[in-house]
Amino acid sequence: MDKKELLKHIQSLASQQLITKDEVTSAFDAGIRGEVPDEVSRQAGISHILYYIGGAVVFLGISVLIWQHWTSLNSATKILSTLGSGIASYIAAVFLSREERLEIVSRAFYFISALVMPLGLHVTFYLAGLDTGSHGVQSIVSGILLVTFLFSYFVNRKTVFLLFNIIFGTWLFFSFTSFLVGSRPNFDWEFSAYRVLCTGLVYALLGYYFTTTSHRALTGALYGFGVLCFLGAALALGDWKPNQNWFWELVFPGLVFGVMFLSVYLRSKAFLTFGSLYLIAYIFKITSEYFAQSLGWPLVLVLTGLGLIAIGYLHFNLKRKYLS
Amino acid sequence: MSSKKNISLIIGIAIPIFMIFLIAISIYLPSLFAPAPQFNFLYVTEDGYGQNRRYGVENGALVKYEVKYPEHYTPRAARLFIHDVSRNTDQEVSFEEAQKLKLDANVKSPDGYEVVYGSREYGFFPLFFSGEYDYNTMYLKGHNASKKLELESSNDGRYYYRNRSFLGWIR
């Protein structure tokens, strides 16, 4: 049923007084909030997954074609079959998205272009004689992709473009900072941990921003990856005895409890789940790092077990009380 | 849309940009204020078999050690270089020439610099490391600044892991 038919149907039902204005507006509001009837949601979910699997299979096909015939294909064919396919998929998606009923199919084609274009750019730069593994080339590739999809987003404000922008933006951030730093002696693994920490924080902030926009579909994933990166990096920065970092080891429980209580405010299960998991990891880390020798391993295990029970209780209660 | 939400977007975009600036400043700013290095240094390429070294510094002068190699083993030729820190260039010297130099074998130069290998590079994919494994890059590090050194590498164009050894600062 297309939009015109639907509106006519509503009009017909309204004329027969079978539907009220409140019912229509409440259904509209529920749709805006992202609530979809179970049956429709399941069917749409399956078809969406199939579209994206199809897109990934197309990408695999192109990759295997290039890999198998690398020596026999000439440079123009290599570029045409990778970068050309990426651009062609993008153009196809633009045309498909003009037709409302093909809008979802167009996302699959955007997905193909987002997968194939990086491959195409890598092949093109490689054939131009550049070292595609270098941070400079990685920055250029990710920069081109980010600009392309940012421009696409400003022309057509689709959620799928935002997703690609976040991925390519993260890629550019890591590549460009690595390009700046190179192998300088003052920048060791902690430098990467701080970058992951920042990435996590940015994801969580963007997720929060999207909650009141039409892109709220991204919020759950951004919260999940955000808290995973943020707490993971904070835990790693604590390091291990005798190289431990006191600041991060002391601050970490505060961060975890902050995340767990934010889960109530943000109504985010990802915050609560990852907060609980990281608290468990922290208890294991601290007990084995500092108390295994002094208290003895069996007693440490008993204390850790009790700690886990407490976390489980807290997790269950918070989820039941605030997130169900 | 509430201003609180807009702030989260602004901060979210500002954090990576701020971090890039911070990294650039932490790299380039200290080098502007660091004093120019004063002491050139002597180094050797492809020196040693396992823990055994062919060259060392004793009483401020270069010495040569006898190293026993297994039968049928041909060691790579060790080459001695003086690195000019102001011009970032090398000059190859013979053992006899290098023996005449007065050397300080301390890791740190009298003006607070040291010669170190670069750290492993970390990229995006996979998240914690990249395809760049340039373990042989060396830096002149000191006063919170570091400068990449243009040094001679192996003499046969092949890759050897950390194939240079610092011998001493030239007094």
Instruction: Reply yes or no on whether the pLDDT at B49 is more than 80.
Output: no
**What pLDDT was estimated at residue B126?**
40
**What pLDDT was estimated at residue A63?**
85
Q: B128 versus A5: which is more confidently predicted?
A: A5
Using DSSP, state whether B140 is helix, strand or coil: strand
Q: Does A180 touch chain B (CB under 8 A)?
A: yes
- Taking the C-alpha atoms of residue A27 and residue A4, their distance in angstroms, rounded to an integer, is 17
- Taking the C-alpha atoms of residue A101 and residue A110, their distance in angstroms, rounded to an integer, is 16
CA dihedral A96, A98, A103, A107 (to 10 degrees): 60
Query: Strand B103-104 relative to strand B164-170: parallel, antiparallel, unpaired?
Result: antiparallel
- Taking the C-alpha atoms of residue A242 and residue A152, their distance in angstroms, rounded to an integer, is 50
Q: Which of B122, B138, B144 to mutate to test the interface with A (most CBs of A within 10 A)?
A: B122
Cβ-defined contact of A209 to B148 (cutoff 8 Å): no
**What pLDDT was estimated at residue A149?**
94
- How large is the average pLDDT for residues B64-68? 81
Q: Which residues contact A180 (CB under 8 A, 6 or more apart)?
A: B20, B23, B24, B27
What mean pLDDT is reported for chain B? 81
> Which whole-number Å values give the CA distances from A68 to A73, A213, B35, in the listed order?
10, 45, 56
Which of B27, B59, B32, B56 has the alpha carbon at shortest distance from B42? B56
A89 contacts A109 by C-beta, under 8 angstroms: yes
A62 contacts A85 by C-beta, under 8 angstroms: yes
Residues of chain B in contact with residue A187, where contact means CB-CB under 8 angstroms, are 119
**What pLDDT was estimated at residue A282?**
92
- Taking the C-alpha atoms of residue B47 and residue B68, their distance in angstroms, rounded to an integer, is 13
Q: B133 versus A82: which is more confidently predicted?
A: A82
Q: Which of A209, A214, A218, A223 to mutate to test the interface with B (most CBs of B within 10 A)?
A: A209
A279 contacts A273 by C-beta, under 8 angstroms: no
Provide the token pair at A310. 């407490």
Using DSSP, state whether B158 is helix, strand or coil: coil
For the ranges A12-16, A24-28, A80-84, A224-228, the maximum mean pLDDT occurs at: A224-228
Q: Is B145 left (phi over 0), alpha (psi -120 to 50) or beta?
A: beta
- Taking the C-alpha atoms of residue A105 and residue A111, their distance in angstroms, rounded to an integer, is 10
Which of B88, A115, A64, A34 has the alpha carbon at shortest distance from A73? A64
Which of B24, B120, B130 comes nearest A180 by C-beta?
B24
B91 contacts B133 by C-beta, under 8 angstroms: no
**What pLDDT was estimated at residue A165?**
95
Q: Does A175 touch chain B (CB under 8 A)?
A: yes
Residues of chain B in contact with residue A181, where contact means CB-CB under 8 angstroms, are 23, 27, 121
> Which whole-number Å values give the CA distances from A29 to A14, A33, A101, A103, A133, in the listed order?
18, 6, 22, 22, 48
Instruction: Reply yes or no on whether the pLDDT at A260 is more than 70.
Output: yes
Residues of chain B in contact with residue A262, where contact means CB-CB under 8 angstroms, are none
Query: How many Cβ atoms from other residues are within 10 Å of residue A196's Cβ?
Result: 20
Q: Which of A139, A186, A218 to mutate to test the interface with B (most CBs of B within 10 A)?
A: A186
Which of A134, A175, A185 comes nearest B119 by C-beta?
A185
- Taking the C-alpha atoms of residue A152 and residue A87, their distance in angstroms, rounded to an integer, is 13
A51 contacts A105 by C-beta, under 8 angstroms: yes
Provide the token pair at B158. 């092949």
Query: How many Cβ atoms from other residues are within 10 Å of residue B82's Cβ?
Result: 18
Instruction: Reply yes or no on whether the pLDDT at A37 is more than 70.
Output: no
- How large is the average pLDDT for residues B42-60? 79
Which of B2, B15, B125 comes nearest A202 by C-beta?
B15
The helices-and-strands tally (H runs, E runs) of chain B is: 2, 10
- Taking the C-alpha atoms of residue B33 and residue B109, their distance in angstroms, rounded to an integer, is 18
- Taking the C-alpha atoms of residue B107 and residue B113, their distance in angstroms, rounded to an integer, is 8
Instruction: Reply yes or no on whether the pLDDT at A2 is more than 70.
Output: no
Instruction: Reply yes or no on whether the pLDDT at A90 is more than 90.
Output: yes
**What pLDDT was estimated at residue A58?**
85
Provide the token pair at A284. 């294991």
Which of B167, B132, B131 has the alpha carbon at shortest distance from B151? B167
**What pLDDT was estimated at residue B128?**
40
Give the pLDDT confidence of A140-161 residue by residue, as tens digits.
Answer: 999 999 999 999 999 888 888 9
Percentage of chain A exceeding pLDDT 70: 94
Give the pLDDT confidence of B130-143 residue by residue, as tens digits.
Answer: 444 556 788 999 98
Q: A241 versus A34: which is more confidently predicted?
A: A241
- Taking the C-alpha atoms of residue A116 and residue A86, their distance in angstroms, rounded to an integer, is 5
Give the pLDDT confidence of A270-322 residue by residue, as tens digits.
Answer: 999 999 899 989 988 888 888 777 777 777 778 878 888 888 888 888 877 77
Query: How many Cβ atoms from other residues are within 10 Å of residue A168's Cβ?
Result: 23
